Amino acid sequence: QETGCLSIIVLGASGDLAKKKTFPALFHLFAQGFLQSDEVHIFGYARSKISDDDLRNRIRGYLVQGKTSDAVQLEEVSKFLKLIKYVSGSYDSAEGFQKLDKEISEHEVSRNSAEGTSRRLFYFALPPSVYPSVCKMIKHYCMNKSDLGGWTRIVVEKPFGKDLASAEKLSSQIGELFDEPQIYRIDHYLGKELVQNLLVLRFANRFFLPLWNRDNIDNVQIVFREDFGTEGRGGYFDEYGIIRDIIQNHLLQVLCLVAMEKPISLKPEHIRDEKVKVLQSVLPIKDEEVVLGQYEGYRDDPTVPDHSNTPTFATMVLRIHNERWEGVPFIMKAGKALSSRKAEIRVQFKDVPGDIFRCKKQGRNEFVIRLQPSEAMYMKLTVKKPGLEMSTVQSELDLSYRQRYQGVTIPEAYERLILDTIRGDQQHFVRRDELKAAWEIFTPLLHRIDNGEVKSLPYKPGSRGPAKADELLEKAGYVQTHGYIWIPPTL
């Protein structure tokens, strides 16, 4: 474990991402003792000319949101806020970044003990359009002091471009200034507890080893549903749409972990090598295996153009051309303004061959991993209906986290990932070649959508999305279980 001075610089400090995610995650790390106040200093950087206290007051309300705050917690909040200093400047001028470097250096000198280091973590809570100029400024003016040792790392977040060409351009611009081990591309789905669990589940359990393939699995669904629309983000969203916002990154990362081969070790590069291989095995997406939707009312947002074809919903089939998965559809489904909010992985098994209970069965075996809310894993299976009759019923083996791990707090995705960036662990971050392979899969389809060749169907807010999507699911082989619903246990 490294010690010495650690400076965390949040660029875009007054923006939404910083307020809602970055600072609260830093606060939770601080409150749990992962950021020592004698080592850490936090700098907010943005264009607005505000004071240290203005920034502190802007973020204060987000730090303990949703939780009842007691006196101890309020004291923690004030201690944390004291660590924050604000520097104002533009994203492309030397002046601001020189000032920032001066502040960081002063703090490093004052904190510098005999074995002092200069660790500098730059968190980009910024629109990607300014990434290249900010990278240049950091490279010229704000790198760690080599006589002190340590490191400089940057943390960036999607959208990384809009298609293969623009993403590659951005990657090269950043790659000219920083080496891959210095770049942390966040996909916050990789910080979710049940996503991190996938590796353990698949490779530490004998149960799954012989079953996890085309001989036994009929289809896989990876689903993201939200029960609210693009409120307040219409302008951003309309440029990107649901495929770029959710499927190309969050759901595809989940697909990698579900489908990849066993890495030779847990080293980040070994894991990421396997993820890249899966991505490179995905076949081009066929238009007839895509259903797009746009919820009614989406275009009422004044920042959305009247004739927008941008999908707020998409269901599509990805096919992996390799020995394990040939013929198994991976159905990716994501939508806004739907009837419920959840994210899950649903692995549906084939029917039992020569089944003697066939006519009475309710449905197939399914293994469901509920990423959120109510984290759980459950196996849907057929059992004898308890009682005198010899009949069958669908039931489940249920591992619900809230019940099984009472009193355990599941960390926020950003919290965990920021800690990884400080510790220098890139396992849960996206490598450049992985990003490229991800864009290769979706770019042709995205271009057809942008050109209006594939149209979004209207759907009612609060519904399941366009009916055509359910038809596609059925065509791909998914068999719905009738008369069964999984209810998360209450404590």
Nearer to ligand BG6 (CB atom), residue 320 or residue 371: 371
How many CA atoms, within 13 angstroms, populate the side-chain half-sphere of residue 189? 26
Instruction: Give bridge partners of residue 378 from the DSSP assignment.
Output: 368, 398
Could you say which residues in the range 339-398 bind ligand BG6, by CB under 6 A? 343
Nearest distance in Å: CB 249, ligand BG6 = 7
Measured from the CB atom, the residue of 108 and 415 that comes closer to ligand BG6 is 415
Contacts (CB under 6 A) with ligand BG6, residues 155-194: 188
Residue 412 beta carbon to ligand BG6: minimum distance, rounded to whole angstroms: 9
Instruction: For residue 93, give the nearest of 44, 50, 156, 142 by alpha carbon.
Output: 142
Q: In the window 203-242, what residues touch ligand BG6 (CB under 6 A)?
A: 226
Q: How far is the CB of 188 from ligand BG6 (least distance, A)?
A: 6
CB 112 within 8 A of CB 77: no
245 near ligand BG6 (CB under 6 A): yes
Q: What are phi and psi of 80, to 5 degrees?
A: -65, -45
Which CB atom, from 193 or from 440, has the smaller least distance to ligand BG6? 193
Least gap, CB of 478 to ligand BG6 (angstroms): 23
* Closer residue to ligand BG6 in complex, CB, 292/343: 343
- Name the CA radius of gyration of the chain, rounded: 24
**Do residues 462 and 225 lie in contact, with contact meaning Cβ atoms separated by under 8 Å?**
no
CA gap 220, 197 in Å, rounded: 17
Which residue's CB is nearer to ligand BG6, number 308 or number 382?
308
Interface with ligand BG6: number of residues (CB under 6 A): 4
Q: In DSSP terms, which residues pair with 1 in a beta bridge? A: none
**Which one, 285 or 343, has the nearer CB to ligand BG6?**
343
16-75: contacts with ligand BG6 (CB under 6 A):
none
Chain residue whose CB lies nearest ligand BG6: 245
Q: Which of 250, 307, 321, 482 is catalytic?
A: 250
- Sheet order of strands, 151-157 included: 84-88, 40-46, 5-11, 118-124, 151-157, 183-186
Cα separation, 89 vs 19, whole angstroms: 18
Q: Is 307 a catalytic residue?
A: no
> How far is it, in rounded angstroms, from Cα 309 to Cα 287?
16
402 CB burial (10 A radius; 0-12, 13-18, 19+): middle
Binding residues for ligand BG6, per CB under 6 A? 188, 226, 245, 343
**Which residues are the active-site residues?**
250
